[in-house]
Amino acid sequence: MPIRTRFSWALLLLLAACARTPQPSASGPANKYQDATMRQIGTAQDERNTAALLPWLSNGNPIYRREAALALASVQAPAAVPALLPLLRDREPSVRRAAAYALGQTGDSTAVDSLRVRVLKENDDVVRRYVHEALGRTVTRRSLPELWRVETLNDTARAAALAWGLSRAALRGYTSPESIRRTVLLLNEPKLPARGRLAAVSTLARTRGLDADLKRLAETTLLRVAQKDRSYAVRAAAASTLGKIAALADKAPVPVPVTTAEAAPTAPTSPAAALPPATSPSATSPAALLARLATKDSDYRVRLSAIRALPFGAEAYPASRAAVFEALRRDRTPVALTAAEWLLAHARGEAGPSLAALADGNKQASVRVRAALLRAAVRHASPAARPSLIETIQKRYPVAGSVYEKGFLLEALGEDPAAFDFVRGEAFATGQSPVVAGYALASLLTMRRLADFPAARQADFAAAMRQGLASGDVAQLGTAAEALADAKLYPEAQPADLAALRAAQAKLQLPTEIEAWQGLQVAIDKLTKAPKPTPSPLATAAQHPIDWAVVQGVPLGQQVRLRTSKGIILLELKPNEAPGAVASFVTLLNQKFYDNLYFHRVVPNFVAQGGDPRGDGNGSAPYNLRSEFGDLRYEEGSVGLASAGKDTESCQFFITHTPTPHLDGRYPIFAQVVGGMDVVHKLDIGDQILGVELVK
């Protein structure tokens, strides 16, 4: 969001002219880094040089005080807290706002008292919200009541500020009966803005152990919000939260009668057919509402969230099943995929071949939906029916249209240990695509975790994991490390395993393979029972400093045309908030780095992620970036950089489908979708990036 200040950008442009710095090469307002001092502050931020930033907090120019505070929000150094606290009383609101944001990002509990006092005294509505958020990010369980020391419900702005404070505390695991009661009161405040309502619902979503009265109070409010709220994001969040906190149904399994007829494929049953006998849920119950939202809400994201939240107990299952089958038949791909995944996780009494027939019968479904249905079919099939299903999948495999479709089919095969040899062959086939090889080894790990995995094949599984470690492929390294770190699979550390992990780790190239390094180190720490996690060897700014010449050539409002196989998406870059990320992205697109890459990860109603040169989420550019946590929020269409932890960003980016407050301040935002959001919602795994270019 834009930084508001009494001081105009004219002052910055004047300073820039005096510094004789290069002017932007494209039309549009200049970004703030035309000013040499701004570049100095930006460099200190990138270098994590707290000592160089602290003097700017007391500079006579409020613009530089603000910028130094914002820089420290990315550095997140507790040593800066004593110098940031006085800025909460600065005469300039934008400085107070930046200081509160930085204190929240640092998360140091020593700031609680000062933030509490500021909440009481702050008259600027925007600054107060920032202070309340910072308080939520710094309170401890003991100091949690400081969030509601002042009455807020008579003041809409104060109510919204409290909602965000409670939400940020809940994200850190801090809630209480009183915080939940106040959250419910906030949700019933008619003038609370949409983002405040979203924050309140997010608080309820992270609450555990509600007593009966609080649960009833929360459910009643969420039922109303999920049906009637004007914001799709709030309705979707409310539906999801109902599924998390409501006791919707008995989760005891329903006995599954197995007949000889199941051994042969049959036509798909209708949604109303073959339902377990049960009493329908009340029309006003959470179960009934979720079933209705799953098919009737006008926004696909609400329908999708409702499906994920559908109960699967004996009483509620018939209505849930009907909604799921309706989504499979009629809804768009993300909703149909979610329905298929619901069946994978929760199907009761469904015949495996009947689920497989759904994959064949739904000709409109994407290959990902069909593969998910096949996977559900294998998981829920009787032992007699499984061989024919496995044979069907193996026959489809050679004619799969892409490496991603092959990966989806390998996931389906991972539900039956009988496919072990086929999958292992694909994992280590000569010249195999790294995408397929990664899916295959992960599928073997899925098999090994099945309750019916044969003891006679455990040695073969161990050999496959050792082969994965020896392969040097980062995806296979990650899977093998995950297996070795699983105490259920490897209860005791073996010297040979530790030696193999260390040998594989020693061969990795840093910083580009930092994620694989981390996965191996997690396994080593678990096997050696290390008292605390081993820190990652992060790259420094000297390894890849910000190219300020590139940054200065990117004016405010600069757009990027992202051409995909589903259509064109327009992005607007954010050089003021993320100069290093923008410089990297512009440099890479000018090098045609992104052309012909793929979207390798799409989570419906969350993100579409791409830009990986390997195509499987394990690739990187030859360098890492330092995290830039600018004062921006994740909204629909925000474009962020993927990471394996702070200061590990590189070339992979993601686009959000919906507001995602839990990502705020944790993943850098460097652009915003300003056109083609409908295309973003259509993206799926395997869709291609045809080209990326600056809009002249």
Question: If you write DSSP's letter for every residue of 662-676 in order, what string do you get?
Answer: GGTTTS-EEEEEEE-
Distance between CA atoms of residues 315 and 321, nearest Å: 11
What mean pLDDT do residues 504-519 have? 95
Helix (H) or strand (E) holding 688: strand 688-694
Q: How many CA atoms lie within 13 A of 491 on its CB side?
A: 1
What does the chain come to in residues?
Answer: 696
Helical H segments across 418-493, by residue range:
420-427, 434-448, 458-471, 474-484
pLDDT at 362: 65
pLDDT tier for residue 266 given thresholds of 50, 70 and 90: very low
Per the CB < 8 A criterion, the answer to whether 129 and 157 are in contact is yes
Establish how many alpha carbons lie within 13 A of residue 465's alpha carbon, considering only the half-sphere containing its beta carbon.
28
Write down the pLDDT at residue 252. Answer: 34
pLDDT score of 20 more than 50: no
Angle subtended at Cα 567 by Cα 561 and Cα 569, rounded to the nearest 5 degrees:
35
Give residue 246's pLDDT: 65
How many degrees, rounded to 5, is the angle at CA 608 between CA 512 and CA 410?
A: 80
What are the phi and psi torsion angles at 607 (to 5°)?
-145, 155
Could you please state the CATH topology (level 3) that the domain comprising 44-231 is classified under. Leucine-rich Repeat Variant (1.25.10)
**What pLDDT, on the 0 to 100 scale, is given for residue 152?**
59
Task: Assess whether pLDDT exceeds 80 at residue 489.
Answer: yes
Q: Report helix, strand and coil shares of the chain as percent, to nearest 5.
A: 55, 5, 40
pLDDT band at 154 (very low <50, low <70, confident <90, very high): low
Q: Which residues pair with 653 in a beta bridge?
A: 610, 641
**What is the predicted pLDDT for the residue at 494?**
86
Amino acid present at 477 = L
User: Which of 510, 475, 473 has its CA nearest to residue 647?
Assistant: 510
What the block records as the tokens of 55 is 């003097």
pLDDT for residue 1: 35
State pTM to two decimals.
Answer: 0.90
User: Which CATH topology does 548-694 take?
Assistant: Cyclophilin (2.40.100)
- Retrieve residue 643's tokens: 């990471």
Question: Nearest-CA neighbor of 566 among 679, 691, 674?
Answer: 679
The closest of 50, 54, 52, 63 to 16, measured between CA atoms, is 63
**Banded model confidence at residue 493, pLDDT cuts 50, 70, 90:** confident
Dmax over CA atoms of the chain, in Å, equals 86
Per-residue pLDDT tens over the stretch 411-424: 999 999 999 999 99
Task: Give the mean model confidence (pLDDT) for residues 172-190.
Answer: 93
Residues 523, 502: Cα–Cα separation, whole Å? 10
Residue 365 pLDDT: 76
Residue 688 to residue 569: CA distance in whole angstroms: 13
Q: Is the pLDDT of residue 275 over 60?
A: no
Model pLDDT for residues 182-213, shown as the tens digit of each residue: 999 999 998 999 999 999 999 999 988 788 88
Question: What pLDDT, on the 0 to 100 scale, is given for residue 254?
Answer: 35
Q: How confident is the model at residue 283 (pLDDT cuts 50, 70, 90)?
A: low
**Phi, psi dihedrals of residue 665, rounded to the nearest 5°:** 70, 10
Any residues with CB less than 8 A from the CB of 169 and at least 6 apart, and which?
136, 137, 139, 144, 147, 175, 179, 203
Which letter does DSSP use for residue 536 in this model? P
Positive or negative, the CA dihedral 220, 222, 223, 229 is: positive
Distance CA 404, CA 389 (A): 20
* Mean pLDDT in residue range 287-295: 95
pLDDT in tens, 96-117: 999 999 999 999 999 999 999 9
Instruction: Please tell me whether the peptide bond between 555 and the residue prior to it is cis, using omega within 30 degrees of 0.
Output: no
Say whether 561 sits in a helix, a strand or coil: strand
Q: What is the mean pLDDT of residues 625-646?
A: 97
Mean pLDDT of 661-687: 97
Q: What is the pLDDT of residues 453-471, one digit of tens each?
A: 999 999 999 999 999 999 9
What single DSSP character describes residue 559? Answer: E
Q: Is 330 left (phi over 0), alpha (psi -120 to 50) or beta?
A: alpha
Give yes or no for a contact between 134 and 103, defined as CB atoms under 8 angstroms apart. yes
Contact 218, 204 (CB under 8 A): yes
- Please check the confidence at residue 16 and state whether its pLDDT lies above 80: no
Residue 12 has pLDDT above 60, yes or no: no
* pLDDT tens per residue across span 314-372: 889 999 999 999 999 989 999 999 999 999 999 988 999 999 998 886 666 799 999 99
A 10 A CB-CB count for 413 gives: 28
Give pLDDT, residue 271.
Answer: 32
Per-residue pLDDT, averaged over 72-79, amounts to: 98
What would the pLDDT profile of 552-591 be if each residue is shown by its tens digit? 999 999 999 999 999 999 999 999 999 999 999 999 999 9
Write down the mean pLDDT value for the chain.
90
DSSP structural state of residue 328? H
Percent of the chain with pLDDT over 70: 89
Tokens read off for 483: 């297996």
Averaged pLDDT, 298-304? 97
Phi, psi (degrees; rounded to nearest 5) at 691:
180, 155
Cβ(540)–Cβ(513) below 8 Å: no
21 compared with 433, residue with greater pLDDT: 433
For every residue of 174-209, DSSP letters joined together read ---HHHHHHHHHHHT-TT--HHHHHHHHHHHHT---
Nearest by Cα to 136 from 182, 90, 94, 69:
182
In this prediction, residue 492 carries a pLDDT of 83
